[in-house]
Amino acid sequence: MNEINQQSVTVASPATVANIVCGFDILGFAINEPEDTFTLTICEEPGVTIINEDNFNLPTIAEDNVSGAALLAFLEAVPEIKGFKLESNKQIKPGSGIGSSAASAAGAVVAANYLMNNRFTPLELVRFAMVGEKVASGVKHADNIAPAIFGGVTLIRSIFPLDIIPIDAPHLYVTIVHPQIEVRTADARQILKQNVLLKDAIKQWGNIAGLVAGFIQHDYDLISRSLEDVIIEPVRSILIPSFYEIKQKCKEAGALGGGISGSGPSIFMLSKTRAIAENVENIMKEIYNKIGLSYYTHATTINQQGVRIVNK
């Protein structure tokens, strides 16, 4: 069980949508595109060597890099390994709100675990990856990390102790628009209110419970009714151009609902059919074309696998 499986492996790590509107820091799901690719190799040189094969100019010092920090935490648990070389090719833009940092951390530790013959459980891998997530946001949150590793929709019941529950959600189409502005997670957290009215907390708890129940029961109407955030969205939405126009027109076109993906600026909408999801994508494009704002869009589905091995 403790033997090294092989010396090198390539993985694909998915983008993720955190919060799912009302579930701040506790709900998230993985999507099938975009995704990052990482090649990890065991090496004799101590520590973590990082080679970036993209144009995002991310740090190459391991302690300052999301993947590097996660791998350093992993190395502490496997003293028989001296170091890793990580070749990173990211397609998920940092600051996009679709889990770029989580994809980096999750992809790195899943690759390392594969090389170590899958010694650690998915829950243990989340713990390693959260060390990397803290580099990006200053907080060890798992709402992007968990779905990236487990796949599908996940509920983080607790961070300390870590308790993650996979949720059997129905097949859903996901449409995302990423306006070409950057919202740093750390900055987006700083503007949040530190105190919440009890009546708002009660409404939010009802929506979270309703959303989880809607997923489990495959009740699309309940999912739609529960996609409401009265605490986080009213504050963060001011950072995203045309947010409420996009949300309203997409729902009028048949989307179940949606909102800010993670800390933004990406906006996501859930739909029952591919036709609705593609129509929603066209609406998003029309709105941003009208105001002259550059953007990217993705019309995809929920990723049930999480990080996958692509080159053994």
**Do residues 137 and 229 share a domain?**
no
Name the band, by pLDDT with cuts 50, 70 and 90, for residue 2: low
CATH number of domain containing 45: 3.30.230.10
* Mean pLDDT across 135-157: 93
Query: Which one is catalytic: 16, 39, 133, 233?
Result: 133
What percentage of residues in the chain have a pLDDT greater than 90?
89
In a domain, 2, yes or no: no
**Residues shown for the chain:** 312
CATH number of domain containing 296: 3.30.70.890
**Which residues form the domain of 136?**
8-168+303-311
Is 185 known to be catalytic?
yes
**Do residues 140 and 204 share a domain?**
no
- Per-residue confidence (pLDDT) for residue 188, from 0 to 100: 67
- Per-residue confidence (pLDDT) for residue 170, from 0 to 100: 96
Q: What is the mean pLDDT of the chain?
A: 94
- Per-residue confidence (pLDDT) for residue 136, from 0 to 100: 84
Name the band, by pLDDT with cuts 50, 70 and 90, for residue 311: confident
Q: How many CA atoms lie within 13 A of 297 on its CB side?
A: 19
- Those residues whose C-beta lies under 8 Å from the C-beta of residue 170, and which sit 6 or more positions away, are 215, 218, 220
In a domain, 92, yes or no: yes
In a domain, 240, yes or no: yes
Taking the C-alpha atoms of residue 36 and residue 56, their distance in angstroms, rounded to an integer, is: 12
Query: Which one is catalytic: 185, 233, 281, 300?
Result: 185
Is the pLDDT at 177 greater than 90? The verdict is: yes
Q: Supply the pTM of this predicted model.
A: 0.94
In a domain, 257, yes or no: yes
Contact 86, 155 (CB under 8 A): no
In the numeric block, which tokens belong to residue 167? 């949720």
DSSP H helices, the chain, are 66-76, 100-115, 122-137, 145-150, 185-190, 198-217, 220-226, 233-236, 243-252, 274-291
Is 133 known to be catalytic?
yes
The two beta strands, 47-52 and 83-89, are parallel
Nearest to 258 by CA among 98, 83, 86: 98
Q: Which residues pair with 11 in a beta bridge?
A: 38, 309
**Do residues 151 and 204 share a domain?**
no
**Do residues 160 and 36 share a domain?**
yes
In a domain, 245, yes or no: yes
In a domain, 3, yes or no: no
**Do residues 80 and 56 share a domain?**
yes
In the numeric block, which tokens belong to residue 156? 């983080």
**Do residues 23 and 163 share a domain?**
yes
Taking the C-alpha atoms of residue 292 and residue 298, their distance in angstroms, rounded to an integer, is: 19
**Do residues 151 and 137 share a domain?**
yes
pLDDT tens digits along 31-68 = 999 999 999 999 999 999 999 999 999 999 999 999 99
**Do residues 27 and 155 share a domain?**
yes
Name the band, by pLDDT with cuts 50, 70 and 90, for residue 1: very low
In a domain, 256, yes or no: yes
Question: Domain tally for the chain?
Answer: 2
pLDDT tens digits along 98-126 = 999 999 999 999 999 999 999 999 999 99
Is the pLDDT at 27 greater than 60? The verdict is: yes
**Do residues 50 and 177 share a domain?**
no
